[in-house]
Amino acid sequence: MHRCKKCFMPDTRPGSIFDEEGVCRACRNYEKRKSIDWDSRKKELDELCDKYRRDDGYYDCLIPVSGGKDSHRIVYEMKVLRGMNPLLITIGDAFTQTQAGLRNYRNLGETFNCDHILFDLSIDLFKRVTRIAFEKTGEPLKFIEAAIYTVPIKMAIELRIPLVSFGENAAYEYGTTADENNSANETVKRIFDSIDVSFWQENGVSMKEMNAIIPPINDEFKATNPLVIYLSYYVPWSSTANLDIAKRYGFCDLAHEWIREGYIENFEQIDSFAYIIHLWMKYPKFGFQRTSDIASRRVREGLLGLPEAKKTINEYDHMIDQRALEDYCNTLGYSKKEFWDIVDKFWNPDLFEKADCLWRRKEDVFGEDVEGQE
Ligand SMILES: [Zn+2]
């Protein structure tokens, strides 16, 4: 494993791109921000909203939201600043929600005065598909992550809502692509093409249960053909700026509720307890997880120095939060032993070796090349 010289992002991240100087694409993309004319990008968004805004009682845009700080930022940009009439939609999961998550979900509809659809998958189905995906692929939320794209787009088509606004272009921000684009339509199409219905059928899920992940058919698409945008193309996206705006509008973090093991912040992915187990699964597979993600992001944003980032990653990146694990096992019906027996299949033998029934890193979290960096 090698890490980016500038931000410590590991090259084991799937799809990551590094240049010959050992710098990751996320850093290069971030540097490009300085040369972007943000005023003209904002004007583009203003003009786009002018084109789609309706005052006749119909929704003019659909915003998929979790209730998090980024959701607050999107609704703020579209409704408060640009007077759009959005419908919000949340795809729920069956993990136990945090108090903050419950409050934030409610706050979105109340503070911004928006109608809000909650789409909950059948709890029985959620448990089965999450177990299947965890056991077979090590990606517990494979099914629901497909539904997160499919359901809102189908809803937009069904309700004839011509504009869908996502927040961040994660592929661009995390540096798995150099293409910056205002439209997410290509990404959505790629995700739809990658949905493998036969995988679920082979594992006992019936076709009748797959409505939430079956993409809209082409004819349906043509009728409305919603434009799907990334807001991060139009406004400089920053998790801390989003947090500040969200807090002004009533968002609350986990400060008074839960101090998470392995986490260096308390305001990202806080809606439910067990969701972060899905994020932790990157650790056995790729040798890094959330601490690396957040630390390298903070470094790029100039909010964390490399020495502190290094210390933090060394100290925390391997950790799994016990409360999250408890809720994950309780919801899905695993004992802790069963959980670890399943995880056992996913440790990457290039990075880890097993001794006395425990997996240990073969080399330092930083590999050899990063040693001695400032
Ligand atoms: Zn980097």
Express each pLDDT in 140-149 by its tens digit: 999 999 999 9
> Measured in angstroms, how far is the CA atom of residue 356 from the centroid of ligand 1?
36
For residue 174, the one-letter residue type is Y
**Residue 374 confidence (pLDDT):** 39
Strand partners, 358: 355
Q: How far apart are the CA of 34 and the centre of ligand 1, in A?
A: 16
> How many Cβ atoms are within 10 Å of 221's Cβ, its own excluded?
17
Q: How far is the CA of 361 from the centre of ligand 1 (A)?
A: 22
pLDDT greater than 90 at residue 223: no
Q: Does residue 220 carry a pLDDT above 70?
A: no
Rg (CA), the chain: 21
Q: How far is the CA of 3 from the centre of ligand 1 (A)?
A: 8
309-362 tens-digit pLDDT: 999 999 999 999 999 999 999 999 999 999 999 999 999 999 999 998 899 998
3-state SS, the chain, equals: CCECCCCCCECCCCCCCECCCCCEHHHHHHHHHHHCCHHHHHHHHHHHHHHHCCCCCCCCEEEECCCCHHHHHHHHHHHHCCCCCEEEEEEECCCCECHHHHHHHHHHHHHCCCEEEEEECCHHHHHHHHHHHHHHHCCCCHHHHHHHHHHHHHHHHHCCCCEEEECCCHHHHCCCCCCCCCECHHHHHHHHHHCCHHHHHHCCCCHHHCCCCCCCCHHHHHHHCCEEEEHHHHCCCCHHHHHHHHHHCCCCCCCCCCCCCCCCCCCCCCCECCHHHHHHCHHHHHCCCHHHHHHHHHHHCCCCCHHHHHHHHHHHCCCCCHHHHHHHHHHHCCCHHHHHHHHHHHCCCCCEEEECCEEEECCCCCCCCCCCCC
Using the predicted structure, report yes or no on whether residue 177 has a pLDDT greater than 90: no
Could you tell me which residue, 1 or 142, shows the higher pLDDT? 142
**Residue 371's pLDDT is what?**
43
Q: Which residues of 237-269 are buried (b: 16+ CB within 10 A; e: fewer)?
A: bbbeebbebbeebebbbbeeebebebbbbebbb
The CA-based angle 36-297-142, given to 5 degrees, is: 105
Using a cut of 0.95, tell me whether the model's pTM lies above it.
no
| 346 Cα to the center of ligand 1, angstroms | 26
| The pLDDT of residue 221 | 67
pLDDT digits (tens, 9 = 90+) for 236-282: 999 899 999 999 999 999 999 999 998 988 999 999 999 999 999 99
pLDDT confidence of 125, banded at 50, 70, 90? very high
- 373 Cα–ligand 1 center, Å: 13
CA 372 to centroid of ligand 1, rounded, Å:
17
The residues with which 343 forms a beta bridge, in sequence order, are none
Residue 171's pLDDT band (boundaries 50, 70, 90)?
confident
Ligand 1 centroid – CA 169 distance (Å): 17
CA of 27 to the centre of ligand 1 (A): 4
Q: Are 326 and 272 in contact (CB under 8 A)?
A: no
Question: For 38-73, how does the pLDDT look when each residue is reduced to its tens digit (9 = 90+)?
Answer: 999 999 999 999 999 999 999 999 999 999 999 999
Ligand 1 center from residue 330 Cα (angstroms): 37
Mean pLDDT of the chain: 93
Q: How far is CA 57 from the centre of its chain?
A: 32
- Output the CA 234–ligand 1 centroid distance in Å: 22
- pLDDT, tens only, 10-24: 999 999 999 999 999
pLDDT at residue number 94: 94
